[in-house]
Amino acid sequence: MLNPVNNTHPSADITLDFRTQPESYHHWKIHCDGPVAELIMNVAEDQTAFEGYQLKLNSYDIGVDIELYDAIQRLRFEHPEVKTVVLRSGKDNIFCAGANIRMLSTASHGHKVNFCKFTNETRNSIEDASQYSGQKYLCVINGVAAGGGYELALANDYIMLMDDGNAAVSLPEVPLLAVLPGTGGLTRVVDKRKVRRDHADIFCTLEEGIKGQRAVDWRLIDEIVPRSKFEERIKEKAEELGAASTRPDNAKGILLNPIERTETDNGLTYQYVTLQIDRKLKNATLTINTPNTPCPVSLDEVLNLGDTFWPLAMVRELDDAILHLRFNETSIGTINYKSSGKHEIVKSYDQFLLQHRDNWLINEILLYWKRTLKRIDLTSRTGFALVEQGSCFTGFLAELLFATDRTYMLEGQLEGIDIPAPTICLTESNFAPFPMSNGLTRLQTRFLGEPESLQDAKQLIGNDLDAQMAMNAGLVTFIPDDLDWEDEIRILDEERASYSPDALTGMEANLRFAGPETLETKIFGRLTAWQNWIFQRPNAVSDKGALKKYGTGSRPEYDNKRV
């Protein structure tokens, strides 16, 4: 999971690897018993992602969350029979102490922000599994659930707290650390659990947290249970939640095998995805390649293919490449998205996915695509889509055209390249299955001010659109011809690399999410932005700030001027 050569602290150059599997877990265990699974958090103190701290009291770092993300994926794909997931601690009298403070106090600013974003996405995937896959989550708290520990609980459908005078929930970041809860706690408390503002204000400034009946009365949890009846009640509630689940009864899951890739100093090569890095221009080219044969015609064939089925295999590789860029290539500011293959092949897969979306596995693949596209939306890098000869931006692949900040499409053919001029093709996939964090599709967001353009685009479903047609429909940004194409793209990349990355990050995040505000846009827009700022303020991170002084026995020194 971590390159051992660079196993230092998070402010150093590191190489994180997001590929893992249950046999390699240090911190989580999955135990399945028919329709109920237990996801058990038992953090190994010495198995840290970096040096310089211990993961005491089930506190976590990025390594713990990499395993959690993997476990959630496996429960969805490998265990369709599981209707309820009981998320619990493997330690007595402690649920989770949250993000490890020693790790945060020494981490680089960039790592802290990326860490919070990834943990947010992971907790969102729990809610996604519940809402769209019918896999309900029951969190049982047997001790203190502090900070990120309580935020982990908040992602669940139901929270059960042991009523023993010890177990409590808390968000102590403001009074203790001078930062905010980093994984959606503030938003979920008031928006999801609908805690009153005054009660929430007390709760978020109370170091010791809240326990017992008050936690129920304030809607911070759903139920308190005496220790003597705890296990019995967990079983009852798990069965109750499972009874309302839409998961299939007798389906057989598919194994998610390790993702294979070849690494060089300037990129990664997977089976269907290639990542090439230009360090001079500080950009990356991410190309998606199709297989040579069309989609199988039956569900049985697809089930037999398992994780080698192209849309699933490819999205796993794309997800891994995006996470690699986020954490390991922080100086790469622009991602150019390309595709290579035949439209007919992509159309066959797109049609199959839409036709069989009621099947549990196909549904999971579509949902995985939705989550990965959201990850692209939320990645703090410029995104350009380049539609060239040999491109195959059709259906679900065409979503990349609308997930990027601009799309450039070649008009005609480049001299000397005997390949037809590029086209793009819309399908039903571009009008429903892959909403953004704002709850709208990317085309709805694109045409927020011109709804007639959205209706016109629907009339183009199934048509192969050349550059001029795509431009007329508002689906691309520019259509340089063969004389201008190479210079246009070179100047584009050079220009982008000359701007302040900080200003670009803020600009792009503001422009991408037009339309309604949702729980997700609040978490990533408000919380991530404010946490980003607070993580740089001396009250939190200076030598006299709260993060550095925590646990030393001395109080932090604050600059009391409000900004």
Residue 41 has pLDDT above 70, yes or no: yes
- Interval 255-264 mean pLDDT: 98
Specify the DSSP element, H or E, that contains 365.
helix 360-378
pLDDT of residue 530: 79
pLDDT of residue 118: 96
d(CA 105, CA 109): 10
Least confident of 6-10, 162-166, 398-402: 6-10
d(CA 176, CA 468): 58
- Interval 306-329 mean pLDDT: 98
pLDDT of residue 13: 60
- pLDDT confidence band for 532 (50 / 70 / 90): confident
pLDDT of residue 3: 39
pLDDT of residue 526: 77
Q: For residue 270, count CB atoms less than 10 angstroms from its CB and return exposed for 0-12, middle for 13-18, buried for 19 or more.
A: buried
Residue 529 has pLDDT above 90, yes or no: no
- Interval 486-510 mean pLDDT: 94
- Interval 107-116 mean pLDDT: 92
For residue 372, the number of C-alpha atoms closer than 13 Å in the C-beta half-sphere is 24
d(CA 441, CA 431): 6
Dihedral over alpha carbons 461, 467, 471, 475 (to 10 degrees): 50
Least confident of 148-162, 457-471, 541-555: 541-555
Residue 196 has pLDDT above 60, yes or no: yes
Residue 4 has pLDDT above 60, yes or no: no
Whole-model pTM: value is: 0.95
The structure tokens 């005997």 sit at: 418
- pLDDT confidence band for 202 (50 / 70 / 90): very high
Between 62-77 and 360-378, two packed helices, what is the crossing angle to 10 degrees?
150
Residue 392 has pLDDT above 60, yes or no: yes
CB 183 within 8 A of CB 173: no
Q: Which fold has domain 262-509?
A: 2-enoyl-CoA Hydratase; Chain A, domain 1 (3.90.226)
CB 274 within 8 A of CB 106: no
- Interval 198-210 mean pLDDT: 97
pLDDT tens readout for residues 42-70: 999 999 999 999 999 999 999 999 999 99
pLDDT of residue 349: 98
Give the CA angle between residues 491, 495, 499 to the nearest 5°.
170
Other C-beta atoms closer than 10 Å to the C-beta of 86 total 23
Nearest to 390 by CA among 519, 242, 288: 288
Least confident of 68-82, 307-321, 526-540: 526-540
CB 434 within 8 A of CB 399: yes
Averaged pLDDT score across all residues of the chain: 95
- Cα–Cα distance list, 211 to 131, 144, 146, 469, 504 (Å): 28, 9, 12, 62, 44
Buried b / exposed e over 544-559, threshold 16 CB at 10 Å, is ebbbbbbeeeeebeee
Q: Where in the chain is the domain with CATH 3.90.226.10?
A: 4-9+24-242, 262-509
CATH number assigned to the domain covering 4-9+24-242: 3.90.226.10
Residue 252 has pLDDT above 70, yes or no: yes
Other C-beta atoms closer than 10 Å to the C-beta of 343 total 21
Return all residues near 400 (Cβ < 8 A) that are at least 6 apart.
Answer: 288, 337, 339, 373, 376, 385, 393
Residue 1 has pLDDT above 70, yes or no: no
- Interval 435-452 mean pLDDT: 97
Residue 195 has pLDDT above 90, yes or no: yes
* Partners of residue 138 on adjacent β-strands: 86, 158
pLDDT of residue 182: 85
